[in-house]
Amino acid sequence: MKQFIKRLLGIGNTDTLEILKKKGFRPGANFNMRHDCIIDFSHSWHIEIGDDVTLAPRVHIIAHDASTWNYLGYTKIKNVKIGNRVFIGAGSIILPGVTIGNDVIVGAGSVVTKDIPDNTVVAGNPAKFRIATDAYIHQEKAKMNAENCFGTEFSEGNNATADQKALMKKMAEKHGIIFAE
């Protein structure tokens, strides 16, 4: 309901991003933040994001830990750095003090508690190494063929027809996976 009201009022990620930028947040070029992401509003200037980074829906990036507030009257704050060409899957959480290298893929639902080196795919809670990014991309590219690859005309944003959607579904059942632009 809250999201519906925000959309109705024209309040969305674009507005949130502009507010964060005014507070000192500086994302790199080609930054793509999908809906319902949370970038630590109270400490956004402690978060550095490189170029060509995508945050899938509901990603959280947190730069502070208020667990000490009730006991010490202070909140712990750590910088977060995300490199270039990084994809962070839906529902993932990046905790304070984490550095994510370049060419990294974080699987959906992951909790990143430690630094991630360049060229790495991680997933899980806590996030753990799964495969090198270049090996993963090679592996997935080998699965692509003329039957299971679909152009932009098949996307919802381009008003894919019912026949196009049915064909995609049929091919996903046949191949177990399809690829769309």
Say what the pLDDT of residue 8 is.
39
Say if residue 158's pLDDT is above 90. no
Categorize the per-residue pLDDT at 7 as very low, low, confident or very high, splitting at 50, 70 and 90: very low
Give me the mean pLDDT over the 78-91 stretch: 98
Give the position of tokens 């993932």.
92
Considering the domain architecture, whether residues 128 and 163 belong to the same structural domain is answered as no
Say what the pLDDT of residue 30 is.
97
Give me the mean pLDDT over the 148-175 stretch: 91
The pLDDT tens digits for 107-118 are 999 999 999 999
Considering the domain architecture, whether residues 123 and 150 belong to the same structural domain is answered as no
Rounded to 5°, the CA angle 38-42-48 comes to 65
Per-residue CA distances from 104 to 53, 56, 63, 99, 118 (Å)? 10, 14, 20, 11, 6
**For residue 80, what are the domain limits?**
2-132
Q: What total number of domains does the chain contain?
A: 2
Catalytic residue positions, numbered: 64
Say if residue 119's pLDDT is above 70. yes
Say if residue 12's pLDDT is above 60. no
Say what the pLDDT of residue 2 is.
57
Residue where a domain terminates, one of 132, 151, 166: 132
